[in-house]
Copies of this chain bind each other. A is one copy, B any other.
């Protein structure tokens, strides 16, 4: 194979001071390639598709590590499973959109819940999480087709 370092993902990982392993590179690239957040199974399936056999536990640890390093962030889905996406979250308090039709979770970077609300006196919010449920733009377009 080509030197693993050829990938930008590998550079990001190295910059965190962690060891640059096949698993980390592959997982990070998978997250970066996806426009929507992926749960553990989604990632495992893609690793398998890439011919990378995998341990469940390693994947959990790899995903947690990426989040810890700020290379990915995580949200909890309605099915109480975690979903991951490349890129840290601390700076952007954006909203998410759960599509009830296709089940995907998308980021709405333009919506910032922390800037819009005034809480009752006494409450000191540090973080706001806003999730919309409904039909996403893609599914909305195909509305007549499959509904």
Tell me the chain A residues, 77-128 only, with Cβ under 8 Å from chain B. 78, 80-82, 95, 97, 100, 108, 110-111, 113, 116-117, 119-128
Min Cβ gap A52→B in Å is: 27
* B136 adjacent to A122 (CB under 8 Å): yes
Q: Does A137 contact B (CB under 8 A)?
A: yes
Min Cβ gap A120→B in Å is: 7
Task: Pick 28 A–B contacts, CB within 8 A, sort by A.
Answer: A80-B80, A80-B82, A95-B117, A97-B119, A97-B123, A97-B125, A100-B126, A108-B119, A108-B120, A111-B117, A113-B113, A116-B117, A121-B137, A122-B136, A122-B140, A123-B134, A123-B135, A123-B137, A124-B135, A126-B133, A127-B132, A127-B134, A128-B131, A128-B132, A128-B133, A129-B133, A130-B131, A131-B131
List the 5 closest A-B pairs by CB distance, nearest first: A122-B137, A125-B134, A126-B134, A125-B132, A80-B80
List 8 additional contacts besides A76-B80, A123-B140, A131-B131; criterion CB under 8 Å: A76-B78, A110-B120, A117-B130, A122-B141, A126-B133, A126-B134, A128-B133, A129-B133
